Amino acid sequence: MKVLSLFIKREKGGKVEKIKAGHLKEGYGLVGDVNGGRACKELSIASHRIRKYLDEENIKGICGHRFYENITIEGLKVAKLKIGDRITIGNTIIEITSIGKGCFPECKLLISGKICPLSKEVLFAKVIRGGVIRVGDRVKLVNAPDYGMGSGG
């Protein structure tokens, strides 16, 4: 697995920027990101597959056009992870705190009975050991058995 892209939004209502490197800080998340410091949701993470789906499928729900992840990981298989699993990205360590993004009751997808992929395919994490992460950094599951999380996803 590897970091495919990094995103940051510096202010509420601001534009999401694609960045090549970012600094992860314990107890905060991605330094400079508007969502940093949110207790158990310091970072948001998505697989390359979900990012591609969001970009290409034009989801009609509330979050499809608003959601951005801080880290897109190539080869990530969310279904193989559980809360408490730890992941290294470069020299940093993060811990999965939540799986799936909550849905809004007024979302058209939810009302129509469709399942939004964000409800099961997004990870939230906290920073255990900070440092700089970069696009291309190797991502590895640690402190847990090998779930066969090779390439793909």
Amino acid 43: pLDDT? 95
Residue ranges, the chain, pLDDT below 70: 57-66, 103-104, 110, 119, 144-153
Look at residue 83 and tell me if it is in a domain: yes
Look at residue 18 and tell me if it is in a domain: no
Look at residue 20 and tell me if it is in a domain: no
Length of the chain in terms of residues written: 153
Look at residue 152 and tell me if it is in a domain: no
CA 90/CA 21 separation, integer angstroms: 11
Look at residue 52 and tell me if it is in a domain: yes
Look at residue 125 and tell me if it is in a domain: yes
**Domains contained in the chain, number:** 1
Look at residue 147 and tell me if it is in a domain: no
Q: Residue 65 belongs to what domain range? A: 2-13+32-142
What secondary structure letter does DSSP report for 70? S
Look at residue 19 and tell me if it is in a domain: no
Tell me, what amino acid is at 42? E
Tell me, what amino acid is at 105? P
Domain CATH for 128 = 2.40.33.20
- Whether 152 and 1 have beta carbons less than 8 Å apart is answered as no
Give the pLDDT confidence of 62-74 residue by residue, as tens digits.
556 667 889 999 9
Amino acid 152: pLDDT? 43
Residues 61-92: b if buried by 16+ CB within 10 A, e if exposed = bbbbeebbbbbbbbbbbbeebeeebbbbbbeb
